[in-house]
Amino acid sequence: MQSITVLGATGSIGTSTLDVVARHPDRYRVFALTAHQRVDALAALCRRFRPEFAVVSDAPRAARLRSLLAQDSGATEVLEGAQALAWVAAHEQADTVMAAIVGTAGLEASLAAARAGKRVLLANKEALVTAGRLYVDAARAAGATLLPIDSEHNAIFQCLPPAAQADAAALQAGGVRRILLTASGGPFRSRSLQELATVSPEEACAHPNWSMGRKISVDSATMMNKGLELIEAHFLFGLPEQQIDIVVHPQSVIHSLVEYLDGSLLAQLGNPDMRTPIAHALAYPARIDSGVGALDLPALGRLDFEPPDPSRFPCLRLAREALRSGGGAPCVLNAANELAVAAFLGGRLRFTAIAELVERVLEAVGSRSAPGSLDEALALDAEARALAQAGIPRLAA
């Protein structure tokens, strides 16, 4: 019986995780569930999964959750704040932690899980982009097992030789020449640059193949998501930037590929449903039912590929440059992007200004050194956000 903490239980990944967990009551038990604002949704999950702990962001929400759960048998203790998040992530009774909080907000708790040597199911890619070296070093030192949830990284993991799954250092020796991340191209794959200037948040969040949270949906539309994933792949698999390529594949059926020295390309295919990588990571190395139907190849008929277009999707270039320059640049890229995406979703920034704002912040503080501690990472993140915030009025004008 595996005991699980789900950080970000009310989100898209959290919900899919609990869907898989509910299919296997003989294998999994929920230890803790956390959410930011959606107290009603978290209360419903607590009634259904009866965790020992539930965590929300602040005291008023905790009080509301307590009152919502008062009529129940009192099975769940309610806690609040960032410290409580890290505490349920590192608790000795949790074997596995699903890290599915969106953004740098998830870094501290994801890192706490790694430092406690947990089996970490890592969806929170921003944690790796912000503090990749720190994160993987901490996980290795503590003997944590990192299992990627991002569909591309999970696909790559599945296509690696077992020795390289256990330790990224064995990747080169395993004959890997490069990895290929597939990208759907998002909802604006065939829009012109001119059209992109006026797209709305609703259009940006209407992804053709995947149903996801709003932040990652906008990242998919700008293709910054693929840029973040490039950096994520670098830290997870220890490959230099030149050995990680991106190919646009609009059907989102091939989730990524690994190319070997002999010319073989291994791919993982499946319907675009996050329950597949989640079930894979939950049960690894076993296989369990995820609730996802089989892929119908004849119905699919064809698979298409094209190169990404750097002129319409400049975020790809910014992410690659940030990874190439190293140090604190990925952290700055991520922080500026989070703020720019929030401004776009709030109607304060045009879609095409997201990349412009990120580029300006990178020019200002992208040459900082890599954060050596959680505090340094959070400080650099805050500095980049403040600069991005200050840059909004000029770009909005």
Site string for ligand NAD, 242-281 (x = CB under 6 A): --------------------------------x-------
Verify binding: residue 212, ligand NAD, rule CB under 6 A.
yes
Pairing of strands 265-269, 244-248: unpaired
* Partner touching 8 among Mg ion, ligand NAD, none, CB below 5 to 8 Å by kind: ligand NAD
Verify binding: residue 102, ligand NAD, rule CB under 6 A.
yes
Please give the size of the binding site for ligand NAD, defined by CB under 6 A. Answer: 26
Residue 177 corresponds to which amino acid?
Answer: R
Q: Which residue is nearest to ligand NAD (CB)?
A: 11
Rule CB under 6 A: choose which of 117, 161, 174, 213 binds ligand NAD: 213
* Partner touching 52 among Mg ion, ligand NAD, none, CB below 5 to 8 Å by kind: none
Verify binding: residue 284, ligand NAD, rule CB under 6 A.
no
- Output 110 or 151, the one with its CB closest to Mg ion: 151
* Partner touching 274 among ligand NAD, Mg ion, none, CB below 5 to 8 Å by kind: ligand NAD
- Output 336 or 395, the one with its CB closest to ligand NAD: 336
Question: Of 74, 75, 116, 126, which Cα lies nearest the Cα of 94?
Answer: 116
Verify binding: residue 226, ligand NAD, rule CB under 6 A.
no
What's the closest the beta carbon of residue 26 comes to ligand NAD, in angstroms? Answer: 26
- Output 125 or 312, the one with its CB closest to ligand NAD: 125
38 Cβ contact list (under 8 Å, min separation 6): 10
For residues 357 and 388, the answer to whether their CB atoms sit within 8 Å is yes
Report the alpha-carbon angle 19-25-28, nearest 5: 80
Cα distance between residue 6 and residue 15, in whole Å = 9
Verify binding: residue 381, ligand NAD, rule CB under 6 A.
no
Residues in contact with Mg ion by the rule CB under 5 A: 150-152
Verify binding: residue 36, ligand NAD, rule CB under 6 A.
yes
The SS3 of residue 96 is strand
Verify binding: residue 210, ligand NAD, rule CB under 6 A.
yes
Verify binding: residue 105, ligand NAD, rule CB under 6 A.
yes
Rule CB under 6 A: choose which of 123, 281, 315, 395 binds ligand NAD: 123
Instruction: Report the b/e string of 26-41 with b at 16+ CB within 10 A.
Output: eebbbbbbbbbeebee
Rule CB under 6 A: choose which of 5, 17, 124, 154 binds ligand NAD: 124
Residue 339 corresponds to which amino acid?
Answer: L
- Output 66 or 226, the one with its CB closest to ligand NAD: 226
Question: Which residue matches tokens 């949790």?
Answer: 94
Verify binding: residue 314, ligand NAD, rule CB under 6 A.
no
Cα distance between residue 315 and residue 313, in whole Å = 6
Q: Using N-to-C axis directions, what is the helix angle for 224-237 and 329-345, rounded to 10°?
A: 150
Helix locations, the chain, DSSP H: 12-22, 39-49, 59-69, 82-90, 107-115, 125-142, 151-158, 162-166, 193-196, 201-204, 214-222, 224-237, 275-283, 297-300, 314-325, 329-345, 353-365, 374-396
Q: Which residues bind ligand NAD (CB under 6 A)?
A: 8-14, 35-36, 38, 57, 100-102, 105, 123-126, 150, 210, 212-213, 215-216, 274
